[in-house]
């Protein structure tokens, strides 16, 4: 193909290159969604080429604009753009390589094992993918967290003449995203917070996987977002580059609220069979249709994975040139900033490197032995405040339960993150657990040490976001209180039973259920040093004893997931009692009673199964010796999973039903969580 002369021709050629790369990749994989990339190619091209401040030569540049493809099924749209823009690959530690993030070979390996072009974008696999999307609405929620982080970073680190952080966040959403509740929660929060650095581009293509969108969705999206407090504008044709430019310019001029750009498009635009185009949304076009589409684009019908002359240069001279200029100017400004504000600059460098500052663990509480003790939510609140005072970029909040979760940051200067006052460390997420989870992931992706909090039972509302946090290997912190039937009168609607087993089943998630106040401190210390995955803390409402560490096992054992807290004389137990959380105190009481009766028992506290599973065989044997087959586990949760530790001869005391509404003492008696129940079980497994 000869190089076109006009700029408009060059734009169209570039757009059609994105489209045909997507078509060819989906066709070769015999799997995927060609329609959305075909319809959205002009929208994304216009943004990247003319508005996105992004340096393909360094996709980790801290002040880059963020581009989020919430409509993750359109992944080839992003992969083709990353390829044509020449985005470089970065290593896990941020080193920029000469190789492309998405090579042509990777485009040809779309949806194949081990490729950097999986079916939905994954941020830990592919450089240039800002967040892992696919479950609809999640990317939209992440973008709100990124925008929160951007506002917070600007408020805390920018100085007059030094706008170190002023990046924008763009998210492309479809009908499916806007139908999902998580996006509604996130949009409501963003409107309330007046996040003027946030722009959602809504692909209004009137199509869902089942068929026409009006089969299930006919609300006035523009009116809805006006109600959320957003600025709303419309582009009547996705192929109108001038109208798209006006839409993006409207966003850039809006300084008091987020912006929604509604773009009317056609799935599979350019297909001669547009009336049936929703069928192309979720499956390859087929060889015959591919040729018809290419003919319609003025494309060689038999050419595959073609990038015509001039297209690479077009991107290089557009987003590449602009991004390099923005990045260069920023680097010069940051170098001067380092001279004038060395302490703040050192904080920024430390934060961006994913490290903890010197002295991050100083002045952490050390709780004295106390038979009455305190709830682990209380010790958590004290620990969280001490850590956040030491880590300036530790930011987070609760879903309207900060006082119950004890997650209010109350040290001097902590402050609140409010509309038009973005410096504070306490984010008020409101009753939006799902949106909170997605937003906290976005904050973590922007390098804040972000945390969320709610009741453990409402982790059900957060689980999709938490699962993606684990998949992305990000160090988000999810804090939960009211962790069992021990919360009492609120009853089974609020009493988590199966949630703990569910999170223990999740790959790459550390789940801590600490057994006393000092185990809480150790759990936080381990969680904050764990940088390649999220951590979940599961905490009590009710008080529990603080153990005397001069008498019992060292709390440092938490780092190994499970450890011997109290032992039989000579370290040779007849029976092993094991538990997590509030039930550790219960088995300690049973241990003392058994010891008084001459029965040699060992108490094993198991705050984090995942860490225990990572220990070597010798350590596991030292805690749970194979020869000691008389074992009892106790946990006010589902019994699922405990059989691996108690073995075929052991006994599991746990929940096999939902809880009930009653005072805690009555619940413990009804469900068998009293000292006598544990002692009886120990004797039973010993055959006594």
Catalytic residues: 433
* DSSP strand pairing (96-100 vs 88-90): antiparallel
Distance CA 196, CA 199 (A): 8
Residue 425 in tokens: 């460390």
First to last CA, the chain: 88
Half-sphere exposure of 437 (CA within 13 A, CB side): 26
Contacts of residue 343, defined as CB under 8 A and 6 or more positions apart, other chains included, come to none
Alpha helices per DSSP H over 109-240: 138-157, 175-179, 181-193, 221-228
Instruction: Identify the burial level of 189 via C-beta atoms within 10 angstroms of its C-beta, where 0-12 means exposed, 13-18 middle and 19 or more buried.
Output: buried
The secondary structure of 94-122, three-state, reads CCEEEEECCCHHHHHCCCCCCCCCCCCCC
Which of the 8 DSSP states describes residue 312? H
Which residues, in sequence order, are bridge partners of residue 421? 418
Which residues, in sequence order, are bridge partners of residue 174? 203
Q: Would you state the torsion angle of the CA atoms of residues 163, 165, 167, 173, taken in this order, to the nearest 10 degrees?
A: -150
Which of the 8 DSSP states describes residue 577? E
Distance CA 70, CA 375 (A): 40
Residue 512 in tokens: 């801590």
What sign does the dihedral 179-180-185-187 (CA atoms) show? negative
Residue 126 in tokens: 């592919």
Which of the 8 DSSP states describes residue 320? I
Half-sphere exposure of 329 (CA within 13 A, CB side): 12
Could you give the 3-state DSSP secondary structure of residue 279?
A: helix
Could you give the 3-state DSSP secondary structure of residue 38?
A: helix
Alpha helices per DSSP H over 493-649: 499-504, 517-529, 583-596, 609-613, 617-623, 643-646
Could you give the 3-state DSSP secondary structure of residue 266?
A: coil
Which residues, in sequence order, are bridge partners of residue 634? 579, 653
Contact 53, 167 (CB under 8 A): yes
Contacts of residue 333, defined as CB under 8 A and 6 or more positions apart, other chains included, come to 162, 163, 164
């Amino acid at each position: 193909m000869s190089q076109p002369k006009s700029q408009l021709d060059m734009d169209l050629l570039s757009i059609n290159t994105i489209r045909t790369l997507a078509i060819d990749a989906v066709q070769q994989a015999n799997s995927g969604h060609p329609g959305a990339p075909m319809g959205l190619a002009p929208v994304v091209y216009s943004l990247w080429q003319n508005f996105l401040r992004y340096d393909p030569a360094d996709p980790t540049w801290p002040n880059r604009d963020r581009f989020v493809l919430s409509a993750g099924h359109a992944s080839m749209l992003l992969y083709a753009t990353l390829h044509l823009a020449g985005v470089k690959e970065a290593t896990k530690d941020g080193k920029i390589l000469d190789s492309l993030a998405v090579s042509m070979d990777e485009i040809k390996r779309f949806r194949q094992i081990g490729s950097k072009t999986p079916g939905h974008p994954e941020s830990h696999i592919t450089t240039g993918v800002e967040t892992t999307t696919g479950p609809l609405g999640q990317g939209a929620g992440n973008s709100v967290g990124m925008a929160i982080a951007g506002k917070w970073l600007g408020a805390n680190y920018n100085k007059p003449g030094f706008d170190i952080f002023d990046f924008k966040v763009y998210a492309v959403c479809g009908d499916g995203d806007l139908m999902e509740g998580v996006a509604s929660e996130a949009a409501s929060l963003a409107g309330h917070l007046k996040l003027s650095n946030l722009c959602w581009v809504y692909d209004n293509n009137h199509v869902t996987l089942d068929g026409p969108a009006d089969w299930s969705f006919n609300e006035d999206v523009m009116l809805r977002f006006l109600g959320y407090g957003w600025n709303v504008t419309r582009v009547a044709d996705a192929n109108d580059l001038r109208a798209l430019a006006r839409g993006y310019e409207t966003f850039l001029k809006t300084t008091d609220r987020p912006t929604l750009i509604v773009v009317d498009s056609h799935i599979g635009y350019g297909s001669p069979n547009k009336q049936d185009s929703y069928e192309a949304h979720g499956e390859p076009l087929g060889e015959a249709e591919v040729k018809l589409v290419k003919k319609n684009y003025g494309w060689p019908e038999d050419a595959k994975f073609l990038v015509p002359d001039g297209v690479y240069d077009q991107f290089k001279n557009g987003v590449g040139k602009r991004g390099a200029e923005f990045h260069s100017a920023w680097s010069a400004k940051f170098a001067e900033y380092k001279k004038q504000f060395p302490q703040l600059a050192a904080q920024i460098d430390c934060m961006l490197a994913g490290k903890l500052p010197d002295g991050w663990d100083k002045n952490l509480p050390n709780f004295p032995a106390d038979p009455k003790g305190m709830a682990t939510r209380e010790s958590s609140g004290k620990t969280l405040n001490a850590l956040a005072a030491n880590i300036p970029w530790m930011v987070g909040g609760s879903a309207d339960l900060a006082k119950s979760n004890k997650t209010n940051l109350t040290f001097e200067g902590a402050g609140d993150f409010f509309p038009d006052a973005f410096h504070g460390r306490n984010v008020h997420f409101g009753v939006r657990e799902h949106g909170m989870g997605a937003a906290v992931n976005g904050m973590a992706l922007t390098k804040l040490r972000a945390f969320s909090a709610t009741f453990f039972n409402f982790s059900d509302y957060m689980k999709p976001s938490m699962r993606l946090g684990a998949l992305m290997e990000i160090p988000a912190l999810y804090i939960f209180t009211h962790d069992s039937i021990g919360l009492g009168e609120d009853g089974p609607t609020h009493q988590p039973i199966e949630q703990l087993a569910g999170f223990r089943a999740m790959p790459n998630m550390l789940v801590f259920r600490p057994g006393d106040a000092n185990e809480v401190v150790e759990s936080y210390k381990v969680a904050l040093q764990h940088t390649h995955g999220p951590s979940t803390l599961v905490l009590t409402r009710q008080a529990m004893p603080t153990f005397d560490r001069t008498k019992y096992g060292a709390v440092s054992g938490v780092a190994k997931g499970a450890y011997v807290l109290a032992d039989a004389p000579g370290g040779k137990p007849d029976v092993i009692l094991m538990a997590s959380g509030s039930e550790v105190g219960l088995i300690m009481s049973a241990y003392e009673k058994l010891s008084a009766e001459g029965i040699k028992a060992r108490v094993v506290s198991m705050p984090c199964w995942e860490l225990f599973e990572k220990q070597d065989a010798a350590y596991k044997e030292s805690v749970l010796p194979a020869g000691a087959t008389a074992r009892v586990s106790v946990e006010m949760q589902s019994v699922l999973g405990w059989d691996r530790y108690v073995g075929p001869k052991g006994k599991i005391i746990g929940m096999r039903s939902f809880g009930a509404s009653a005072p805690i003492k009555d619940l413990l008696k009804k469900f068998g969580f009293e000292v006598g129940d544990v002692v009886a079980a120990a004797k039973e497994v010993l055959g006594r």
